[in-house]
C-alpha cells in the first residue's frame, strides 16, 4: 500500500469513528443519544488510536495536515510528500463523513437540530469570537504537536504509542476542547464540512462557511508553532 492510500484510509477511519460518535450522541433515537461530551472525547481518542494502528507502519499516520506541515517544517518529513499527504487526508476526511451520513441515514430526518447536525461533521465555537476561537485552536494544536514530539522522544513497549497518542487526544479534548470543539486538524474539519454542504441531509441548514477558516488556519499556525518550540526548547 502506498503512503498516500494509507493516509486516505487512516483519515477515513478517523472521521468515520470520530464523527460517528458525535452522530450517535446528537441524533435522535440512537442507543447513545445524549451520552455527553465525555463520550465524544473518548470516542475521538479511540478513533485516533485505531487509525494509527491501521496505517502507522505504512505512512506514519499523520492523518492531519497540521502534523504533516509541522514535521516537514522541522525537517523530519520531505516537503515533496506534503501535497500528496494533504490531499489524501482531505479526501479521506470527506469520505469518512459520507459514510457517517449513510450509517445514520434514518436518524437525520427525525432530528430537527440544524446546529447539532452541522456539529457532527465539523466544529463550531461555544462563544463565537473569531480571535479567541483562533487562539484556542492555536493553543490546542501547539499542545498536540508538542505532545506527539514528546511521545516520539520516549521509548514505550512496542505497539503502545498509538494508545498514548489516543490519550493525548482525550487530554486535549477534556482540557482545551470546550471552547471550539478542538478541531486541531484542518482536514478533520473542512473535509466533512464540504460533505455537509454537498450531501442531501434532511433539514441540515447552512454549513457556517464564515467560521470555516478558523479550524484550518488555527491548527496550521499551532502546528508550526509547536514544532518550532520543540526545536528551540528541547
Contacts of 79 (CB under 8 A, 6+ apart): 72
Q: Angle at which helices 82-103 and 65-73 pack, to 10 degrees? A: 160
Q: Where are the domains of the chain?
A: 3-233
pLDDT confidence of residue 155: 67
Contacts of 105 (CB under 8 A, 6+ apart): none
* pLDDT one-digit tens code per residue, 51-78: 999 999 999 999 999 999 999 999 999 9
pLDDT confidence of residue 157: 64
Integer Cα distance of 63 and 72 in angstroms: 14
Residues of the chain with pLDDT under 50: none
Helix (H, G, I), strand (E, B), or coil: what is residue 69? Answer: helix
Helix (H, G, I), strand (E, B), or coil: what is residue 209? Answer: coil
* φ/ψ (deg, to 5) at 122: -150, 175
pLDDT confidence of residue 134: 98
Contacts of 187 (CB under 8 A, 6+ apart): 11, 63, 64, 65, 86, 89, 90, 92, 93
pLDDT confidence of residue 152: 83
| Helical spans, DSSP H, in the chain | 3-26, 37-59, 65-73, 82-103, 105-109, 114-121, 130-152, 161-176, 186-198, 214-233
- What is the Cβ-side half-sphere exposure of residue 50, based on CA atoms within 13 angstroms? 15
pLDDT confidence of residue 153: 77
Q: Which long-range contacts (CB under 8 A, 24 or more apart) does 27-30 make?
A: 27/104, 27/107, 27/108, 27/111, 27/116, 27/117, 27/120, 28/107, 28/110, 28/111, 29/107, 29/110, 30/104, 30/107
Integer Cα distance of 68 and 55 in angstroms: 15
pLDDT confidence of residue 198: 98
Cβ–Cβ under 8 Å, residues 172 and 140: yes
Query: How many beta carbons lie within 10 A of that of residue 5, not counting itself?
Result: 14
CATH fold of 3-233 reads Glycerol uptake facilitator protein (1.20.1080)
Amino acid at each position: 500500500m502506498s503512503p498516500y492510500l494509507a493516509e486516505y484510509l487512516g483519515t477515513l477511519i478517523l472521521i468515520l469513528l470520530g464523527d460517528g460518535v458525535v452522530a450517535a450522541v446528537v441524533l435522535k433515537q440512537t442507543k447513545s443519544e445524549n451520552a455527553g461530551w465525555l463520550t465524544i472525547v473518548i470516542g475521538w481518542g479511540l478513533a485516533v488510536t485505531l487509525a494509527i494502528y491501521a496505517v502507522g507502519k505504512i505512512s506514519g499516520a499523520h492523518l492531519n495536515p497540521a502534523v504533516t506541515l509541522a514535521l516537514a517544517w522541522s525537517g523530519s518529513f520531505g516537503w515533496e510528500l506534503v501535497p500528496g499527504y494533504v490531499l489524501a487526508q482531505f479526501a479521506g476526511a470527506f469520505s469518512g463523513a459520507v459514510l457517517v451520513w449513510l450509517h445514520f441515514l434514518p436518524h437525520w430526518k427525525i432530528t430537527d437540530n440544524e446546529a447539532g447536525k452541522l456539529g457532527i461533521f465539523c466544529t463550531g465555537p461555544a462563544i463565537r469570537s473569531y480571535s479567541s476561537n483562533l487562539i484556542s485552536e492555536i493553543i490546542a494544536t501547539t499542545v498536540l504537536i508538542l505532545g506527539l514530539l514528546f511521545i516520539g522522544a520516549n521509548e514505550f513497549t512496542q505497539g503502545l504509542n498509538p494508545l498514548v497518542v489516543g490519550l493525548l487526544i482525550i487530554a486535549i479534548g477534556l482540557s482545551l476542547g470546550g471552547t471550539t470543539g478542538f478541531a486541531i486538524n484542518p482536514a478533520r474539519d473542512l473535509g466533512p464540512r464540504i460533505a455537509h454542504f454537498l450531501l442531501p441531509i434532511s433539514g441540515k441548514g447552512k454549513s457556517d462557511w464564515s467560521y470555516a477558516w478558523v479550524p484550518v488556519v488555527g491548527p496550521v499556525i499551532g502546528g508550526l508553532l509547536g514544532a518550532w518550540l520543540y526545536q528551540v526548547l528541547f
